[in-house]
């Protein structure tokens, strides 16, 4: 009685045709065939919930299913594959390649296996990171956005007293705050004040004033610009806050809120 040898039992190579959008293999399904792209383009992707994570796009010569072939522990398909356009593929039975693979030098097979394991870890990490990003986006969408307050610069005329930060508290000069915001203010002073202390950009002053709502605030501000006022004998100082305590910031913030 005639019997077939092992090679005769191996299914022959099959040529398969897929239309654009056809699923060739699905992640999680069981299968042992290896596919080679002859014509067309094939998308390789992982599925995570209702999301698809693009892995690669294969053209002619690209191979699908090699991970299951190289790592026999992967019984289920690791990724899905879909035809991006009308495509033609060869389908091989792994038994037809096993003998040739085993005849390769051990070091080559070892390198291939190590590379495969590293690729599997990277794909798993990609899927985990994608899940984390999606969860963070979902949480951000569900969390209500904090109410925004519109603060802006207000034109005011506020009497104030001020002194250089490194001078005794008795050294008090007078000025007029002309406009103010949460970041700084404009200060109108007499030119003679500049004769007593330096009023150059960079100079810092401790300032005290009372807001129109009756709130007293004090803070430290730094000069960033000095402009000759239109009124003779006066200077206009552009200043930014250097130190503004929480209490003063809160009082100023409420004052600056639109009414």
CATH of the domain at 74: 2.60.120.10
DSSP 81: E
* Residue written as token pair 């569900």: 142
For residue 161, being part of any structural domain is answered with yes
Q: Are residues 213 and 130 in the same domain?
A: no
Q: Are residues 126 and 200 in the same domain?
A: no
Kindly state whether residues 211 and 138 are assigned to the same domain.
no
> Which tokens hold the place of 208?
């005290």
Distance of CA 174 to the CA centre of its chain: 49
Same domain, 130 and 159: no
- Residue 174: predicted pLDDT: 93
Looking at the structure, tell me whether residues 197 and 133 fall in a common domain.
Answer: no
CATH code where residue 164 lies: 2.40.10.220
pLDDT at 122: 77
Please indicate, yes or no, if residue 48 is contained in any of the structural domains: yes
Residue 148 in domain: no
Residues 6+ apart with CB under 8 A from 2: none
Q: Mark which of 117, 142, 167 sits at the end of a domain.
A: 142
Classified as helix, coil or strand, 41 is coil
Instruction: State whether 14 and 123 are in the same domain.
Output: yes
Whether residue 79 has pLDDT greater than 70: yes
pLDDT digits (tens, 9 = 90+) for 105-157: 888 878 877 887 787 777 777 767 766 777 777 777 766 655 444 445 677 88
CA distances from 19 to 16, 47, 189, 253 (A): 10, 21, 81, 64
* 16: three-class secondary structure by DSSP: strand
Backbone angles phi, psi at 79, to 5 degrees: -140, 170
User: How far apart are alpha carbons 102 and 75 in whole angstroms?
Assistant: 19
**Domain shared by 241 and 138, yes or no:** no
Tracing tokens 């005639």 back to the chain, one arrives at 2
Residues 161 and 112 in one domain: no
CB atoms within 10 A of CB 92: 21
Which band of pLDDT confidence, cut at 50, 70 and 90, is reported for residue 21? Answer: very high
Residue 207 and residue 230 in one domain: yes
Question: What is the extent of the structural domain holding 173?
Answer: 154-256
Residue 223, helix vs strand vs coil? strand
CA–CA dist 206, 219 (Å, integer): 6
Is 158 found in the same domain as 108? no
Give the model confidence (pLDDT) of 192-210 as tens digits.
888 888 899 999 999 999 9
Residue 227's Cβ-count burial label (10 Å; 0-12, 13-18, 19+) is: exposed
Q: In this structure, are 11 and 137 located in the same domain?
A: yes
How many domains does the chain contain in total? 2
Looking at the domain assignment, is residue 83 inside a domain?
A: yes
Higher-scoring residue by pLDDT: 29, 24: 24
């Amino acid at each position: 009685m005639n019997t077939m040898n092992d090679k005769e039992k191996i299914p022959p190579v099959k040529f398969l045709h897929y239309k654009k959008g056809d699923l060739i293999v699905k992640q999680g399904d069981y299968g042992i065939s290896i596919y080679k792209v002859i014509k067309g383009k094939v998308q390789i992707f992982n599925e995570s919930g209702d999301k698809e994570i693009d892995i690669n796009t294969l053209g002619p010569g690209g191979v699908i299913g090699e991970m299951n072939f190289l790592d026999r522990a992967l019984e289920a398909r690791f990724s899905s594959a879909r035809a991006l356009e009308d495509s033609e593929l060869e389908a091989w039975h792994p038994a037809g390649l096993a003998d040739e693979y085993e005849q390769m030098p051990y070091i080559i097979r070892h390198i291939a296996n190590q590379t495969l394991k590293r690729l599997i870890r990277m794909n798993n990490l990609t899927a985990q990171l994608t899940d984390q990003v999606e969860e963070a986006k979902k949480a951000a969408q569900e969390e209500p956005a904090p109410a925004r307050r519109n603060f802006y610069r207000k034109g005011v005329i506020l009497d104030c007293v001020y002194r250089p930060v490194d001078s005794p508290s008795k050294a008090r000069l007078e000025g007029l705050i002309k406009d103010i915001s949460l970041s700084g203010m404009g200060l109108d002073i007499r030119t003679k004040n500049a004769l007593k202390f330096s009023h150059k950009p960079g100079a810092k002053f401790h300032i005290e004033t009372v807001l129109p709502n009756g709130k007293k605030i004090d803070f430290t501000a730094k000069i960033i610009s000095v402009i000759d006022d239109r009124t003779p004998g006066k200077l206009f100082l552009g200043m930014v806050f250097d130190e503004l305590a929480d209490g003063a910031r809160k009082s100023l913030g409420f004052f600056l809120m639109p009414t």
